[in-house]
Amino acid sequence: MYGAIINAILVVIGTTIGMVVGKFLKEDLQNQLIIAMGLCVLFIGIDGMLEMKSPLNMLLSMSIGTLIGNVIDLDGMIVKAGDKIQQKFSSKSPIASGFVNASLLFCVGGMAIVGSIQDGLTSDYSILLMKGIIDAVSAIVLAAKYGIGVYFSAGFILIYEGSLSLLALVIAPILTNECIIQLSAVGSIVLLAVGLNMLNIIKAKPMNMVPAIILSAILTIVFAI
């Protein structure tokens, strides 16, 4: 739960900076900051992936889980939902625009889900801390454009990520330590896709890989039986 709180606070800090100095930041500097954050995400993904206990589990969960995610098209569903929300509210006022655009940017993505699950299961909020720093950088840019509305997205982050962490905390007792390790390792692979996307190296849809995280825990239990 601490991760969601830290993430929200960092967005507030970033928004405050953006309200004051955001308009003076050149686009090239903004891009360089995003690249730096993307490299950090890659490091976190690789570091977590090294804890992998079962390569077979990884191969099966990633292939089957990604297939399921693409058939359901989780990424498309979220994009469509975001578009509807944006069309309904963002044109009403600059405050609404700031809230909607920032909330969608900060909450739609693999890092929010993987980080919240890891925080709930293991109390490790390192992913959400890194996400918070990235969100803070983005908030600077958004606040310069939309103003005070970006502040309200911090509340949405707190509710969204906090709920995911609490859900993970509820199911934690039924998962073995091996399940949690494997789940975190597969989640780290999803983070690699997020990082590579940020660096414009690939055009992946990390949201469609999220089912692999859940499937990895299920397969760990099945293999143990």
The predicted pLDDT at position 114 comes to 86
Which residues, in sequence order, are CB contacts of 121 under 8 Å at separation 6+?
Answer: 168, 169, 172, 175, 180, 183, 184
- Of the candidates 1, 8, 5, 3, the residue with the CA atom closest to the CA atom of residue 151: 8
Model-level pTM?
0.76
What pLDDT, on a 0 to 100 scale, did the predictor assign at position 38?
Answer: 83
At 91 the pLDDT is 57
Reading the chain (225 residues) residue by residue, the pLDDT tens digits are: 789 999 999 999 999 998 888 777 777 877 787 788 789 889 888 888 887 888 899 999 999 999 999 999 888 887 777 677 667 765 556 677 778 778 877 886 678 888 998 899 888 898 999 899 989 988 988 888 788 888 989 999 999 999 999 998 888 888 888 888 888 889 889 889 888 988 889 888 888 898 998 899 889 988 887
Q: Quickly list DSSP for 108-121.
A: SSHHHHHHHHHHHH
Q: Report the pLDDT value the prediction gives residue 35, as an integer from 0 to 100.
A: 86
SS3 of residue 201 by DSSP: coil
How far are the Cα atoms of 22, 65, 130, 133 from residue 106, in angstroms, in the given order?
A: 18, 24, 12, 11
Provide the 3-class DSSP secondary structure of residue 161: helix
- DSSP for 180-199, please give it: HHHHHHHHHHHHHHHHHHHT
Q: What are the residue boundaries of the structural domains of the chain, listed by start?
A: 2-224
- The answer to whether the CB of 140 falls within 8 A of the CB of 27 is no
What is the torsional sign of CA 50, 188, 10, 125?
Answer: negative
Model pLDDT, residue 4: 94
Report the pLDDT value the prediction gives residue 129, as an integer from 0 to 100.
94
Q: Give the pLDDT score at 92.
A: 58
